[in-house]
A and B are shown apart, each in its own frame.
Chain A
Amino acid sequence: MRVVVIQFPGSNCDQDCLRAFRDALGVESRMMWHKDTEIAPDETIIVPGGFSYGDYLRCGAIARFSPVMKAVQAAAERKQTILGICNGFQILCESGLLPGALVRNRDLHFICEPVTLKVENSRTHLTRHTRDGELLQIPIAHGEGNFRADQSTLVEMEEFGQILFRYANAEGTVSEESNPNGSVGNIAGICNKEGTVFGMMPHPERAAEALLGSTDGLVLLKSLLNL
């Protein structure tokens, strides 16, 4: 298979991800239960959104100890492409595969709405089909999407081009007003230094068919697989 979507107890965007890759993109894709540990070296790994383990303790904190995560860690060491979306992003941060952490939204509300993302770095697997400064319409749906990292980590992330998307307004201005959840620097999506592990709070799989109101997410998923 080319794409593997991991299912934890409480994942709820797994089917949407599978549909986006298998049906919208026509790519061979499979589901993988979190207790399985076999990931092929040529598979792109998707850690989907949801509420793994009921978000107990902290979002993603328990999922990190699932058997599959050892295989994901090993895949990361082999430089396989990994994308965590929403809760998947939280899990990858908790696992140490991505820097920073995601805490409760600034205004404490669960936010489910389309947002505008500004592409900050189009020279990565996830963003190669976009241009720097391009605006994308992709929905968010989270209560804990407030990205946090200490100052030295942020400086390093800037340096290595690890900040991929920022929340912007319709004109592309990045400001406090266009920041839905209080994320530092309006950060909505990042990658690791090697550019192989990606995390984003917005849901590209929910913007993967015209019927859903936007296909900007599909551009990113195609980009991830270099289709």
Chain B
Amino acid sequence: MRATVIVTPKTSVLDPQGEAVKNAIHHLGMDSVTSTRIGKFIELEIDSSDEASVKEALEKISHELLSNPVIEDYQVEVITD
């Protein structure tokens, strides 16, 4: 099965990249954009059909490696084909 993990900076943490991109968007003339946050999108392929154990493993992977809980949040989505 496949899974995706989205890692985003915590809202309490300043995201300088997002700020810079927001300013660039304003230069494009779209002043209505009030916030831009930049994170990471990670796609995984897993050789297993046991959704429960995969979800558990993905939580561990996301918490311990893909994100840094001090500064980032994550969302896991499992895609069963």
Whether B65 and A57, one on each chain, are in contact in the complex, defined by CB atoms closer than 8 angstroms, is yes
Residues of A within 8 A of B71 (CB): 101, 103, 148
| Bound CA span A14–B14, Å | 31
Contact assessment for A182 and B65 in the assembled complex, using a CB-CB cutoff below 8 Å: no
Q: Are B16 and A100 in contact (CB under 8 A)?
A: no
In the complex, are the beta carbons of B68 and A58 less than 8 A apart?
Answer: yes
Asked whether any CB of chain A lies closer than 8 Å to the CB of B80, the reply is no
Assembled-state Cα–Cα distance A106/B20 (Å): 10
Determine the chain B residues whose CB is within 8 A of the CB of A105 once the complex forms: 16
User: A57-B65, A65-B65, A108-B20 in contact; A182/B70 too (CB < 8 A)?
Assistant: no
> Which bucket holds chain B's interface residue count?
10 to 19
Q: List the count of A-B residue pairs having beta carbons below 8 Å apart.
A: 38
Give the secondary structure class of A's interface.
Answer: loop
Contact indicator A57/B14 (Cβ below 8 Å): no
Contact B66 A57 (CB under 8 A): yes
Judge whether B52 is part of the interface by a CB distance below 8 angstroms: no
Counting CB contacts under 8 A, is A61 at the interface? yes
Check A182/B16 contact, CB under 8 A, given A58-B68, A61-B65, A100-B70: yes
Task: Indicate if A104 sits at the interface (CB-CB under 8 A).
Answer: yes
Note all chain B residues with C-beta closer than 8 A to A150.
12, 70
Q: A100-B70, A182-B14 are in contact. List 9 more A-B contacts (CB 8 A).
A: A57-B40, A65-B65, A101-B70, A105-B16, A106-B14, A146-B14, A146-B16, A149-B70, A150-B70
4 smallest A-B Cβ distances: which pairs? A101-B70, A101-B71, A104-B16, A101-B68
29 A-B Cβ contacts within 8 A?
Answer: A57-B40, A57-B65, A57-B66, A61-B65, A61-B68, A65-B65, A93-B70, A94-B68, A100-B70, A101-B68, A101-B70, A103-B9, A103-B13, A103-B16, A104-B16, A104-B17, A105-B16, A106-B14, A106-B16, A107-B16, A108-B16, A108-B17, A146-B14, A146-B16, A148-B13, A148-B70, A148-B71, A150-B12, A150-B70
